[in-house]
Chain A
Amino acid sequence: MGTLEAILLTIATAATPLLIAAIGELVVERSGVLNLGVEGLMVMGAVAGFGMAHLSGSAWVGIICAIIAGALFSLLFAFLVLTLVTNQVATGLALTLLGLGVSGMIGEAFIGLPGIRLEAISIPVLSEIPLIGKLLFGQDPIFYISIVLTIVVMWFLFRTRAGLTLRAVGDSHGSAHALGISVMTVRYLAIMFGGACAGLAGAFLSLVYTPQWVENMTAGRGWIALALVVFASWRPLRVLAGAYLFGAITIVQLHIQAISLAELEFLPGVIFWLASLVKSIPSQFLSALPYLATVIVLVLISRNRRLTMMNTPASLGKPFVPSR
């Protein structure tokens, strides 16, 4: 396995949980609801996935339970913001607070236990292809699910009637309601889909990424997923690109630290000089890079008002009460 291939694989692993959680949140936001509770949903998925895998002995049982746990936990959020019309920002934050607490309590029993790893798929022959073999044909199943999920969501949103309905609800819940669409039903389903995705993303962390349970193991990835959705201006393919870009920045940053200048001496002068420059930057600045990059991209994409308006769900975050 070559170094480049290994780096690509690592990036794919780092990107997968972000991608899954962000795709789920994208659907939620497309329906006009802002759920800031992704972090809480993810961590609930992580503990449910680990716990059920541990109890049943099967990683797949864990994965399925995590998806269900995420969907159920998001129902709490849906009930508050949809049925009781509470403020979405505050409710989402409360969901995160609750999720971190509840998962910590549930997880006390699982601390220090070795996890069960979801086995990677390895297609013979094809996975032996240099450079891309393992990347395309030898990864864990969730990686493939994440890619399929992205494509399905893209197809659903822009090629199906149901997707059109969902976008209509997000763009103008008033008009959608007038047309006889049940705004409530659509949004309930969207929020539960988002919850299920966050749950799956969490289970990826506790069953594939680092098969173990520790408190707060999501370590802020739910927030990054939220940022990715806006970063991608609510388009699935751009979420995919964004997740991989974010993963790449994180991983390459670590590689830059690990490599020594002596190993880079073969590089042409300018590149060598650049590499030594990057190596001399304090690691805090490198760690801040992805966040700054997100801000810059946000500025770039929102500069064009017409384009942004076209993609942004106009009803995002606004409360809806059906009138009779």
Chain B
Amino acid sequence: MKKTLVTLMASAAIATMAMGAAKADTKACFIYVGPIGDFGWSYQHDQGRLAVEKELGVETAYLESVPEGADSERALERFARSGCNIIFTTSFGYMDATNKVAGKFKDVKFEHATGYKREHSNVSTYSSKFYEGRYVQGQIAAKLSTTGVAGYIASFPIPEVVRGINAFILGAQSINPDFKLKVVWVNTWFDPGKEADAAKALIDQGVDIVTQHTDSTAPMQVAAERGIKAFGQASDMIQFGKETQLTSIIDDWAPYYVERVKAVMDGTWEQQDVWHGMDHGSVAMAPYTNMPDDVKALAEATQAKITAKEFEPFTGPITKQDGSVWLKEGEQADLGTLLGMNFYVMGVDDTLPQ
């Protein structure tokens, strides 16, 4: 009894201290759509949070598995009221809630991932050009594939995913103009069993490289079992396929999160809309493994060119799947088309679900 009383008092003391400190110090808060244990999207955002904690020593808090409906607005309001100075809302579906709560709490900064609405001056949006990594993957695939066909496990037909598919095939065609891509839509971000089934179906139909835009490591495991190569997604999945993973696009949010929290601490935070890519370190590639040196050199060269902004994957000439010209020689895609991309380029062996 005595012990619990002491603990109670101690924790009360800590709570008061924390309350006092929160006013002076910065608190960064994060809201995730999935569990941090998904080893994919939410996991990577949480790695960013941990980096903020480590590098800046600020207090952080997070909420995981918050549904994107009525619940997200409540969660954000609770954050805003609990002394958060900056709140990262890490899924597209939080867009309206972010803007609504931002309107109520003008002193709190909001950072919304992958969205396009900035209705108040305290809302920024940010995203990453993951498609840059997909282009590199496409080149590697075309170099290594003997069947000339790769398989793509896709989640939902949103622009982000369609961009990735297009970038992949463009990269592949830059090496082998006849390269083909088979796409399977599994209508889920996360169902290891179904992702594994999709990988098997693709492999059974003759693809010898598998890439995925879903979150689990299951396709990597299936590829390992069948003895073909695969690309990881969101995080480095090398321990799920030591002899299988060629590389993986790593969502590295840490540089951006550290930069923005630091801006709040320094009082220099301003509204912005950024779409960072390899140049900013937001899109990182896991080590190039399980490939010959020349392919590795090619991949590294392409990555270096994209990082140095000497090359942009969506540069003409590019033909749409229906045969019409999208970009003329040397022409670059405009931002709006990229953000709302809902068509395939030539060479994708699939009909885009509309």
Q: Are B187 and A260 in contact (CB under 8 A)?
A: no
Residues of A71-120 whose CB lies within 8 A of B: 104, 107-108, 111-114
- The verdict on B239 contacting chain A, using a C-beta distance below 8 Å, is yes
Task: Give the residues in chain B near A108, CB-CB below 8 Å.
Answer: 37
- The verdict on A127 contacting chain B, using a C-beta distance below 8 Å, is no
Residue on B nearest A213 in the bound complex, by CB = B37
- The verdict on A304 contacting chain B, using a C-beta distance below 8 Å, is no
B353 interface neighbour in A111, A214, A219, A283, Cβ under 8 Å: A283
Task: Give the residues in chain B near A279, CB-CB below 8 Å.
Answer: 351
Q: Are B197 and A10 in contact (CB under 8 A)?
A: yes
Q: Are B187 and A287 in contact (CB under 8 A)?
A: yes
Q: For this complex, into which size category does the number of interface residues on chain B fall?
A: 35 or more
Measured in the bound complex, the distance between the Cα atoms of B32 and A215 in whole Å is 15
Q: Known contacts A260-B182, A280-B351; is A215 also within 8 Å of B37 by CB? A: yes
Q: Are B201 and A258 in contact (CB under 8 A)?
A: yes
Q: Are A7 and B204 in contact (CB under 8 A)?
A: yes
Q: Are B192 and A250 in contact (CB under 8 A)?
A: no
Task: Give the residues in chain A near B217, CB-CB below 8 Å.
Answer: 210, 212
Residue on A nearest B219 in the bound complex, by CB = A210
Task: Give the residues in chain A near B284, CB-CB below 8 Å.
Answer: none
Task: Give the residues in chain A near B180, CB-CB below 8 Å.
Answer: 260
Give the secondary structure class of A's interface: helix
A258 interface neighbour in B39, B202, B353, Cβ under 8 Å: B202
- The verdict on B221 contacting chain A, using a C-beta distance below 8 Å, is yes
Residues of B287-341 whose CB lies within 8 A of A: none
- The verdict on B270 contacting chain A, using a C-beta distance below 8 Å, is no
Q: Known contacts A219-B194, A255-B205; is A211 also within 8 Å of B221 by CB? A: yes
B184 interface neighbour in A13, A111, A254, Cβ under 8 Å: A254
Residues of A1-35 whose CB lies within 8 A of B: 3, 6-7, 10, 13-14
Binding site for B on A (CB under 8 A): 3, 6-7, 10, 13-14, 104, 107-108, 111-114, 205, 209-212, 214-217, 219, 221, 250-251, 254-255, 257-260, 262, 279-280, 282-284, 287
User: A6-B200, A112-B39 given. 4 additional CB < 8 A pairs?
Assistant: A113-B239, A205-B192, A205-B193, A215-B37
Q: Which 3 A-B pairs have the closest CB atoms?
A: A210-B192, A254-B201, A111-B37
